[in-house]
Each structure stands twice: as structure tokens, then as C-alpha cells.
Chain A
């Protein structure tokens, strides 16, 4: 776009409007520039101004005439249809079209900087050693390997290279405020890039950061927010007195209500209110809602923190080292405490205060409780709870991200090779204990945990049930809409599987399930520089995620052969057995969840209802507030799932027998 000098007439109008400038020759304007709407403005340095004559819709549809009023503008490019009013200093910025900036003390780029990009934050260990750089395209997968795979020097060097490229792209002494941005009533914005469509309203201080936004999902920074060294991604809301220092806020994450965090990364769809986070890796769907909750130096994923959850460790000697790992779907109960380092397996619940370091990662779906100072593990028990069922169903529905390509690759499959592989491993551990433990013993000990001997057989049985459901679920997916020909094809495919082929380990890379060999492929491409940028890396993860069910079927088909017919061909009879075992196991599982749901309506749940009445009043009060077991949506859905399981079983058995 061509800019010209101001005409004499235009300068006179500006002077008449009480504007000042140290050198009017440094002010360039577009051809159809209109000076009327520039009033009481001090100009300094090189300034370019577009056409300021149209109206812009502000908050509550209030129309404002574009222009610059009561402000100081230093070294800025101001594009068309912008409303700037009462800005004490606006310095070194390019401002997009249709943007409103009003009642702001300072918006300044003070020096050559990268707007938070590349700033290292200390995740998992407050003392350093696992730093990750703040990046506008940091996915939970990239962060996971950066943080966790420190043993792999070649990988770290390759990742450092692509991260450095990204940082250099953002180096500038001119900041960017995009199109359709709304900034109002803010004390200071220093060295912050603000993308198209972002809304910043009543924030206190934003320094050294980037606010990413897209048209589909606005990013909102609200009242009294203080943030220093940060990246905030599209769709995120950071509001009501949040205090952030060295933080990454992922897509559609919500932080508010005085939440404070330092050296922490929150990936997609996290929620943080009231509490405190220090050096945490909050994988997708990490949720902490309560006061007095301190999450410290841990890796979380699909995690829910009960009120008063605390993992601090005041016994350190060589520095503040914690490092906890709470795998996908873990929960910590109210006032629970864990001495770190400790590790919690997927979909497990921690209740009580644990003063031992423990490693429960081999046992998914467990309860970890405290009994007279012992950490007691009850394996597999959380496989049958309402909580697990509800959580796993709600996550996919609550994905608030609106962009077509989502940065964090998240897989919601409940029976993934990763989880079923863990159940297999847990089964084997319990089986060994069961065969080797004397009946005199009350507990067996495993990695800082006590497991009741009496439960070895029961929990082993539950894991076996979960494995059968997992195999069946993936077979049913293949058999969906199957006819006789497709069954022949599936049998051929299964019979061609070489069961001597090692059933490989799977990983849960910050929400993405992938086989170890797929990860190794990505790693090799990084080291060979076939992957040269972060966007290429994210694309690779996207491809793997898209092909998940095909890769997972490879794994499950090997497991199916191994378990049901290791030495012979897959026949219809074998498929019938798999199907029947799936059906029986799934129905048992669903019925146990139904039983768990029924407890929500038992006599205990009615305590505190019908405050001043008799039992009849209590029951009626409960019914009006909580409804009934029969009419509850969750139980209705479960019953429908039971019915569907029976229908699918009948349909496929007819085809196979």
C-alpha cells in the first residue's frame, strides 16, 4: 500500500484538533486519509495512518467513529477503521483493521524481542533440567517428548533446532495487534503480540507474550489478569484476577477466579480456577476447580483435582525436586496428598494422604487409599465406576476447540492398545503374586504399595474382563456392517498375522496413542531432518492420529490370535467365542456400573434431604432434586447400551453360526 506525506491543509486540521508532532514529515498517510477524526494526539517517530472514517461496533453494539483521540502514538502503523482513544503511549506496533483500543496506559514494544516465543519454562522439575520453550504451535505431543525424553540427546538437539527456528521467526522490535481486536481498560501491555479477534478487557498487566486467536474461537483476557512471559492460544479464556508467570495456555483452556500458575503448561481444554500450579505439565483436560489445591511439578492428563489436593514435598535437600506422573484419567480426592516422586496409573483414584513414594503405573483403574500409614492399592476397581464411565464419555463431547486442525492430537478411545496392554501386564503381575503368595499373608507389597492378598484373584479376573471387552470392541468395529464376504476377509487377515511378531508397546503421548515404532519413525525423521519444522512435526502426529484405528486393529488382531487360537487358524467358531466372551464381559461390566449408579439413589445418598420432615418427605425431596434411578439419564443410557450389546451379539452370531 502506498503512503504519502500529509498535505499542508491536513496538517492545519490536525493542529486545529490540538495534535502535535516533532516532525510532520515522518507521518505518512493513505491517499484517501481523512484527518478530521484525529483529535488531541501526540505523534512521534515514523507513523503510518490509514483511512479513519467508518464506524466500528464496540462492546454491546455501541458504534464508534474510527479515529485517534487523546493518545500518544510513537512509531506505529495504524491501518483502516481503527478506534484508538485515551492511550497514554502506543509505541512500536502495527495495528490491523477494525480494531478498538481504548483507556490503556501503555502499549509498548520496548526492544527487539520474541514476544514470549522461545522463553524456557521449567516444567516437572522446578530446579530445571526439563525446560520447554513457549511456542505458539506447541502441542502436548511436542511438549511431552521435550520434557520427558531427556535421555535422548540426539532427539533433544533436533527438537531444539526446530524450536529455535520458530523463536527467530518471531523476533522483532515491532509488535502486532491484529484485525478486529478489542482492547479496553488495561493498565499495560508490553512486548505482547495480539492476533486477530482477541479481546482484552480490564486486564492489569501483560508482558512478554503472544495471544493467538482465530476467527472461530476468540481468545479472551479479562479483569485484573497479570501475565508475564506467556503464550495464550485460540479459544482460551484467562479471566478474573489470574496471575501467570512463564506459562503456556492451550487451545480452549479456561483459567479464572484468582488461579495462579508459574512455569506451567496447560494444554487443550484444561480448566484452572482458584488454586495454584507450579511447574506442572497439565495435559489435555486437566481440571482443578478448588481453593487450597496446589498442583506441583507433575505430569497430568485428563486429570481431575479434588479440593485441597497437594503434592508438595518439604523434605528436599538438594533442591525442590518433585516430579510426579499422574497418567490419563487420574483423580485425586479431596485433601489428598502424595509424596513425590510417585506415579499413578491411568484412570486411577488417589484418596487420603500418602507419605511413601509409590509407583502404581502398572495398574490402571485402581484405587490408591491410605490405611494406617500404608498406601493400599486396589487394582481394577475403577473400571466399574460411574465416574470412569461418565468421564470417558464427556471428554469428547466437551472438546471446545473449533479449529479444523487442532494443535493437540487427542484420542478418546477407552480400550486403546496402551490401556489394554497395561491391563494385560497388571493381570500377569497379579497372577504371579496369586500363585506365589501364602494364604497367611494379608498383603503383598509392590513398588511402595500394599495389595490385599484376598483381592489378587478378584482383580485379576476384572482385568481379564477388561481385556476381553477391549478385544471385542475392536473386533466389533471391524465387523460393523459385515456380511459373509467381509467375515471371510477378516479371517484371512487374522490368519495372515504372524503371532510370533512382537506385539509392540504403545505410548500415550500427551493424549495421542501411538505405537512405539510409530514414535521411533517420527524420532528418526526429526534426527535425519526430514521433519524440519514444528508444523511438519504436528502434521506427522496428525497423520498417526487419523490412522489410529487401523494401527490399533493390528495390535488387537495379534492379541486376539495369541489369546484365542495361537496354534491354529481363525475359524467362525473362534470368532463366536470371542464375540460371546465380549458380550458376557461387557454386560457384566455395564451391570456393575449400573449397580454403582444405583448407590447414588440409596438410603445413604438421601441423608440431608427432607430437612424438617419425615422419611416420606425425605424421599419426595430427594426425588424432586435428584430424580430417580429409573428415570436418570445416565442409567437409561446404560440400559440402552446393554440392549444394544445384546442386539449386536445376536446379529453377529447369526452371521457367524
Chain B
């Protein structure tokens, strides 16, 4: 899957979970500091990515991902 497609779907998922406008999510946005995700929302985000891409992520590693671009890279590793 192309990076742009992954990024778009990652941002879609983030927007749904955090109930924010997709346009407001920058590539370098930090989940906690910029997007205001708390620890429970972080778990929801991981679940949302799993469902969106039909993959199973390693939670320990996934919960350490801090930015949108890192999430895109992390998911792309699984897809490849």
C-alpha cells in the first residue's frame, strides 16, 4: 500500500477516535501533546488501526509510537 494511502487512512482513524477534524492533523502531530490523546484513547487508536488495516499490532511497541508519521511507518512495516 502506498504511503499516502496509509497516511490518509491513519488520519481517518485518528479523526474518528479523537473526534477531531482530519484536516487539523498534521503529519508530525504528537498524539498526546498535539492531539490530546490520553492513555485510554491511545489503546483505542491502536485498536482502530488494527481494524482499519486488518492487522494485529504488538501493543507494547504500538503504544510507544508518538507521532502520526511514526504510526504510518509502523503500520507500513506490518503491511509490507
Interfacial residues, chain A to chain B (CB-CB below 8 A): 367, 369, 378, 381, 439, 452, 454-455, 457-458, 588, 591-592, 595, 599, 604
Bound complex: CA A367 to CA B40 (Å): 9
State whether B63 touches A381 (Cβ < 8 A).
no
Residue interface mask B25-61, A partner, CB < 8 A = 1? 0000000100000011001101110110000000110
Contacts of B18 in A (CB 8 A): none
The residue from A454, A591, A599 contacting B48, defined by CB atoms under 8 A apart: A454
Bound complex: CA A604 to CA B36 (Å): 12
State whether A595 touches B47 (Cβ < 8 A).
no
Contacts of A599 in B (CB 8 A): 39
State whether A452 touches B60 (Cβ < 8 A).
no
The residue from A455, A458, A588 contacting B60, defined by CB atoms under 8 A apart: A588
State whether B60 touches A591 (Cβ < 8 A).
yes
Contacts of A367 in B (CB 8 A): 40
B17 beta carbon closer than 8 Å to chain A: yes
- Given A592-B59, A595-B64, A458–B32 Cβ distance below 8 Å? no
A-B contact pairs, 26 of them (CB 8 A): A367-B40, A369-B40, A378-B40, A381-B40, A439-B51, A452-B44, A454-B17, A454-B44, A454-B48, A455-B43, A455-B44, A455-B47, A457-B47, A457-B50, A458-B43, A458-B50, A458-B59, A588-B59, A588-B60, A591-B60, A592-B60, A592-B63, A595-B63, A595-B64, A599-B39, A604-B32
B60 CB to nearest A CB, Å: 5
A22 CB to nearest B CB, Å: 77
Interface of B is mostly: helix
State whether A458 touches B46 (Cβ < 8 A).
yes
State whether B47 touches A378 (Cβ < 8 A).
no
State whether B40 touches A454 (Cβ < 8 A).
no
Bound complex: CA A457 to CA B47 (Å): 8
Contacts of B60 in A (CB 8 A): 588, 591-592, 595
Contacts of B51 in A (CB 8 A): 439, 454, 457
Residue of A nearest to B60 (CB): A591
6 more contacts with CB within 8 A, not counting A457-B50, A458-B59, A592-B60, are A367-B40, A381-B40, A455-B43, A458-B47, A591-B60, A592-B63
Contacts of B40 in A (CB 8 A): 367, 369, 378, 381
Bound complex: CA A591 to CA B32 (Å): 21
How many residues of chain B have a CB within 8 Å of chain A? 15
B61 CB to nearest A CB, Å: 10
Contacts of A458 in B (CB 8 A): 43, 46-47, 50, 59
Residue of B nearest to A439 (CB): B51
Bound complex: CA A455 to CA B40 (Å): 10
Contacts of A369 in B (CB 8 A): 40
Contacts of B43 in A (CB 8 A): 378, 381, 455, 458
Bound complex: CA A455 to CA B50 (Å): 11
Bound complex: CA A381 to CA B43 (Å): 9
Contacts of B44 in A (CB 8 A): 452, 454-455
Contacts of B63 in A (CB 8 A): 592, 595
Bound complex: CA A458 to CA B55 (Å): 12
A389 CB to nearest B CB, Å: 16
Contacts of A592 in B (CB 8 A): 59-60, 63
Bound complex: CA A367 to CA B42 (Å): 14
Contacts of A455 in B (CB 8 A): 43-44, 47
Residue of B nearest to A376 (CB): B40
Residue of B nearest to A599 (CB): B39
Bound complex: CA A592 to CA B63 (Å): 9
Bound complex: CA A599 to CA B66 (Å): 12
Contacts of B59 in A (CB 8 A): 458, 588, 592
Contacts of B64 in A (CB 8 A): 595
Contacts of A454 in B (CB 8 A): 17, 44, 47-48, 51
> What are the nearest 9 A-B pairs in CB distance?
A454-B47, A458-B47, A591-B60, A378-B40, A455-B47, A454-B48, A454-B44, A452-B44, A592-B60
Contacts of B17 in A (CB 8 A): 454
Bound complex: CA A439 to CA B51 (Å): 10
Residue of A nearest to B32 (CB): A604
Bound complex: CA A464 to CA B39 (Å): 21
Contacts of A591 in B (CB 8 A): 60
Residue of B nearest to A596 (CB): B39
Contacts of B47 in A (CB 8 A): 452, 454-455, 457-458
Residue of B nearest to A604 (CB): B32
Contacts of A378 in B (CB 8 A): 40, 43
Bound complex: CA A253 to CA B59 (Å): 41
Bound complex: CA A455 to CA B51 (Å): 10
Residue of B nearest to A458 (CB): B47
Residue of A nearest to B51 (CB): A454
Bound complex: CA A367 to CA B39 (Å): 11
A235 CB to nearest B CB, Å: 39
A363 CB to nearest B CB, Å: 14
B49 CB to nearest A CB, Å: 10
B54 CB to nearest A CB, Å: 12
Bound complex: CA A439 to CA B52 (Å): 11
A654 CB to nearest B CB, Å: 28
Interface centre among B32, B40, B48 (most CB of A within 10 A): B40
